[in-house]
Amino acid sequence: MRNGKVVLRAYLGGAVFLLALWWAISLLVELPIIPAPDKVLVKLSHVFMQAIAIHGAYSLWRIAAGLVLAVGIGYPIGLIMGYFPRADRLLAPLVYLTYPIPKIALLPILMLLAGIGEWSKILMIFLIIVFQVIIAVRDGIRAIPEETYYPLYSLGASFGQLFRYVIFPASLPKFITAVRVAMATAISVLFFTETFGTQYGMGYYIMDAWLRVNYLEMYAGIVVLSFLGLLLFGLIDLVEYFACRWQQ
């Protein structure tokens, strides 16, 4: 991975640039609400293991569970809609009618039905990601030219073989892009859901520090949340690198 070094350097450069910008602003305004990054990072090193790590782990688990659920249910639906036009005609209206509903507005209902604990948070992430997965998988499969199947059709391939050798690899790039886009939404929604009915999660930690007017801890939480996002996006990039080698 010679490219690995280049990528790492680019990320470091980006981090340094943001830190410099943050520093400049903190020097300019000189307010406690924008503390200098060095103070925040020192604070972070103190509170990370004893306080933040457990919150980060909770947030990560909720995102992972929501994502697995969304892919597990969304992928088969997208597959059926993409490969069988008749199923698409039946299901597309349902998807299109429910897709634009602002899912966050359903949070009170979800809390009533699934409780204010883990499930309502995971289900919220699931609801937000699942539509993007369905649409991306369906469109990815629809975009496969008919001729791509011909060599397999003439060999009498089964549906399982068509899936393995054509449908899955051909729709994989679009699927990964959808997960990447959905991930950003999921993180911001997660933050919102974690401000209710829980004592764990990055959302809770940041809002709690805010209410205690502990700006250093609040910024430490924001930095960790940002790294959490970086970790997830990096993971998706890595999966894409190894699973879509033919695209390089």
Partner 1 sequence: MIEVEHLTVSYPADGSEQIALHDVSLTVPQGTVCAVIGPSGCGKSTLLKVVAGLIHDYQGTVRIAGKDINPRAMKIGFMPQNYGLMPWQTVAENIMLGCRIKGEVPDEMQERMAELCKRLGIAGLEERYPQELSGGQQQRVGLARAFLLRPDILLMDEPFSALDAITREEMQEVFLDLWQENHITTILVTHYVEEALYLGQQIALMAAHPGTVQAVRLNGLAGSVEKRQTAEFFAAGQQLRDKIKAMEVRR
Contact 165, 26 (CB under 8 A): no
CB count within 10 Å of CB 9 equals 10
Which residues ranging from 26 to 65 are in contact with partner 1 (CB under 8 A)?
A: none
Interface pattern 108-147 for partner 1 (x via CB under 8 A) = ---------------------------------------x
Which residues ranging from 146 to 165 are in contact with partner 1 (CB under 8 A)?
A: 147-148, 150-157, 161, 165
Identity of the residue, 96 or 150, whose beta carbon is nearer to partner 1 in the bound complex: 150
Identity of the residue, 105 or 159, whose beta carbon is nearer to partner 1 in the bound complex: 159
Burial (CB count within 10 angstroms: exposed 0-12, middle 13-18, buried 19+), residue 167: buried
Which residues ranging from 182 to 201 are in contact with partner 1 (CB under 8 A)?
A: none
Contact 180, 233 (CB under 8 A): yes
CB count within 10 Å of CB 52 equals 21
Query: How many residues lie near partner 1 (CB under 8 A)?
Result: 19
Indicate whether 98 belongs to the interface with partner 1 (CB under 8 A).
no
Angle at CA of residue 246, ends 241 and 248, nearest 5°: 60
Which residues sit at the interface with partner 1, rule CB under 8 A? 147-148, 150-157, 161, 165-166, 169-170, 172, 244-246
